[in-house]
């Protein structure tokens, strides 16, 4: 292993005394499985592969990956964690700048606009957007019947508590 590959779950390999363990930053915050299951409409997306891509986003579509434009020249590419290395190679071959932010960002999917309106003041009709969700900087976008947002993993405990409290208030 060289450089900072240990930060990329898809590239980290066991070496000497190091053995990578994939664990969601939301795991502790969400507590027991019963608490998580009772929070219907919430899904942990932290293990999703996340690549920040810059420079000429036209024609960036990759198989098994979703592209969320953040600015005209910057996007968040979401993919299965096992595909991160392959997508990095493909994008760099196309002379795109790529940063693996898989370990840096936690992610959640929530259903229900009422719940999300309790978490953010962002205009839900103007997504994707970056701004504050649960008072934490996040990238927010629609996905099928719900919403997905990705935020710095160090806020995972706090965001999970806020989301679960907001959900309890809707019951």
Domain harbouring 95, CATH code: 3.30.70
What's the domain range around 55?
48-101
**How far is the C-alpha of 64 from the C-alpha of 80, rounded, in Å?**
7
DSSP track, 87-141: HHHHHHHTT-EEEE-TTTEEEEEEE-HHHHHHHB-S-TTS-SEEEEETTEEEEEE
Does residue 73 sit in the same domain as residue 145? no
Place of tokens 């606009």: 113
Does residue 35 sit in the same domain as residue 108? yes
| Domain end call among 101, 118, 145 | 101
In this prediction, residue 1 has a pLDDT band, given cuts at 50, 70 and 90, of very low
Does residue 138 sit in the same domain as residue 168? yes
Does residue 80 sit in the same domain as residue 130? no
Which has the higher per-residue pLDDT, 137 or 42? 137
| Torsion of Cα atoms, 90 then 93 then 97 then 101, to 10° | 30
**How far is the C-alpha of 89 from the C-alpha of 85, rounded, in Å?**
6
**How far is the C-alpha of 29 from the C-alpha of 108, rounded, in Å?**
13
Domain total of the chain: 2
Residue 32: the pLDDT is 47
Q: Is residue 6 part of a domain?
A: no
Residue 12: the pLDDT is 55
Which has the higher per-residue pLDDT, 77 or 1? 77
* Weakest-pLDDT range from 15-19, 52-56, 71-75, 139-143: 15-19
pLDDT digits (tens, 9 = 90+) for 74-129: 889 999 988 898 889 888 888 888 999 998 999 999 888 999 999 999 999 999 99
Residue 29: the pLDDT is 61
pLDDT digits (tens, 9 = 90+) for 6-44: 455 555 556 666 655 555 656 666 654 345 445 567 888
Does residue 40 sit in the same domain as residue 55? no
Does residue 41 sit in the same domain as residue 108? yes
Q: Is residue 163 part of a domain?
A: yes
Does residue 111 sit in the same domain as residue 167? yes
DSSP track, 38-59: HSTTEEE-TTSEEEEEES--TT
């Amino acid at each position: 292993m060289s450089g900072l590959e240990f930060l990329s779950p898809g590239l980290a390999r066991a070496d000497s005394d190091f053995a990578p363990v994939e664990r969601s930053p939301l795991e502790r915050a969400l507590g027991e499985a019963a608490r998580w299951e009772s929070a219907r409409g919430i899904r942990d997306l932290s293990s999703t592969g996340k690549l920040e891509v810059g420079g000429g986003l036209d024609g960036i579509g990759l198989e098994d990956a979703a592209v969320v434009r953040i600015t005209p020249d910057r996007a968040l590419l979401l993919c299965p964690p096992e595909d991160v290395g392959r997508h990095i190679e493909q994008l760099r071959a196309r002379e795109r700048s790529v940063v693996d932010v898989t370990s840096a960002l936690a992610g959640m999917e929530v259903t229900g606009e009422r719940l999300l309106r309790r978490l953010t003041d962002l205009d839900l009709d103007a997504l994707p957007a970056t701004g504050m969700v649960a008072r934490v900087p996040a990238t927010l976008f629609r996905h099928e019947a719900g919403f997905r947002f990705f935020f710095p993993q160090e806020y995972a405990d706090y965001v999970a508590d806020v989301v679960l409290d907001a959900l309890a208030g809707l019951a």
